[in-house]
């Protein structure tokens, strides 16, 4: 068993090294260092759906000022683009590590999160659907390339992704699969297309509900796009042939400008955030226009290795019942 786990660790390293290098090349990124914690009350931490609690603690040497472990670096990266004076057409990427203690355990969810967090400086004129799709396609090319490299090195690990990724708006999914929940719609579409990018996640659809939650202050899910729908963001979803379900590997999008931020803060009833550091900088025009997102490292490794549980590719804390169920199913966690 130890040899099997060691071999799995070698494949994980191959996946991470290959994809990271390909992502840097496809999107013209440079790798940078990033924080595990940020000061509370700055608006820098990612609010996810707006209800998840961060890990919080006082810092003795800063007069007990509270700090929080990051959920992700969605807003920190945009500030970093400015601080590093990154030119248009270039971006940054970092190995983000986070804790999300409110995450519900499942075969694909853990309280420990690891992802490639990236952000790219763009022109205001590039805040459109065509540019979003081109960027998504480049990321998908990196995923496809990695899948092929893994197969070339380990012939027993078969490829399963289609040649191209399909683009579809969340409203189109709603109309295509009436009477289904959002997750059921994702499953149906992922099974049909193999790989898809669902556009416009966070804004309300014609049924009065968003496809999924999204914070108000990073992705732009409200601006009307070239197809007549709202949103310049979305999720990359793959069909997982092992779990036989839709499998999200990335959340990303063109970021809010001043107009979109004001609109989305109002819609989410959190206009009080305008007084926070990040939001003030954005509203005063001090931050660059950007596109960015996170790509799950453990998620991608799990997909490539045809794993049945995310604990097979990352070390985390699991309830006894979760470990027992895994062992009964012949799943050996790290």
Told to judge if 97 belongs to the known catalytic residues of this protein, a careful annotator would answer no
Told to judge if 46 belongs to the known catalytic residues of this protein, a careful annotator would answer yes
In the chain, DSSP finds a helix count (H) and a strand count (E) of 9, 11
Residue 58 in 3-state DSSP? strand
Told to judge if 17 belongs to the known catalytic residues of this protein, a careful annotator would answer no
Distance CA 310, CA 305 (A): 10
Q: Which of 20, 250, 251, 297 is catalytic?
A: 251
Distance CA 17, CA 26 (A): 14
Distance CA 122, CA 90 (A): 8
Structure-block tokens of residue 6: 């060691």
Told to judge if 222 belongs to the known catalytic residues of this protein, a careful annotator would answer no
Distance spanning both ends of the chain, measured CA to CA: 11
Q: Which of 22, 46, 312, 322 is catalytic?
A: 46
Q: Which of 72, 110, 115, 297 is catalytic?
A: 115
Residues 6 or more apart in contact with residue 60 via CB below 8 angstroms: none
Told to judge if 251 belongs to the known catalytic residues of this protein, a careful annotator would answer yes
Q: Which of 26, 103, 188, 248 is catalytic?
A: 248
Told to judge if 235 belongs to the known catalytic residues of this protein, a careful annotator would answer yes
Q: How far is CA 213 from the centre of its chain?
A: 13
Q: Which of 78, 80, 100, 127 is catalytic?
A: 100
Q: Which of 114, 212, 220, 235 is catalytic?
A: 235
Q: Which residues carry out catalysis? A: 46, 100, 115, 235, 248, 251
């Amino acid at each position: 068993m130890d040899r099997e786990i060691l071999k799995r660790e070698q494949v994980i390293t191959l996946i991470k090294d290959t994809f990271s290098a390909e992502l840097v090349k496809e999107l013209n990124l440079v790798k940078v260092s990033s924080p595990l914690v940020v000061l509370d009350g700055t608006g820098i931490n990612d609010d996810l759906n707006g209800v998840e609690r961060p890990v919080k603690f006082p810092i003795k040497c800063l007069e007990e000022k509270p700090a929080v472990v990051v959920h992700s670096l969605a807003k920190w990266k945009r500030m970093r683009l400015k601080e590093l004076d990154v030119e248009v057409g270039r971006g940054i990427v970092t190995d983000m590590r986070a804790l999300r203690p409110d995450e519900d355990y499942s075969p694909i969810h853990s309280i420990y999160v690891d992802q490639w967090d990236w952000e790219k400086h763009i022109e205001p004129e590039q805040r459109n659907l065509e540019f979003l799709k081109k960027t998504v396609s480049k990321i998908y090319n990196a995923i496809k390339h990695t899948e092929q490299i893994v197969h070339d090195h380990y012939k027993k690990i078969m490829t399963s992704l289609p040649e191209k990724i399909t683009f579809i708006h969340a409203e189109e999914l709603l109309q295509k699969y009436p009477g289904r929940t959002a997750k059921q719609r994702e499953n149906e579409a992922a099974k049909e297309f193999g790989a898809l990018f669902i556009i416009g996640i966070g804004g309300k659809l014609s049924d009065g509900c968003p496809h999924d939650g999204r914070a108000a202050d990073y992705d732009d899910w409200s601006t009307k796009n070239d197809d007549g729908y709202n949103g310049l963001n979305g999720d990359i979803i793959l069909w997982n042939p092992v779990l036989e379900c839709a499998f999200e590997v990335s959340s990303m999008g063109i970021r809010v400008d001043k107009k979109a931020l004001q609109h989305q803060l109002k819609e989410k009833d959190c206009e009080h955030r305008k007084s926070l550091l990040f939001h003030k900088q954005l509203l005063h025009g001090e931050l660059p226009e950007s596109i960015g997102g996170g790509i799950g490292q453990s998620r991608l490794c799990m997909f490539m290795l045809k794993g049945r549980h995310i604990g097979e590719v990352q070390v985390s804390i699991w309830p006894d019942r979760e470990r027992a169920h895994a062992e009964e199913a012949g799943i050996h966690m790290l």
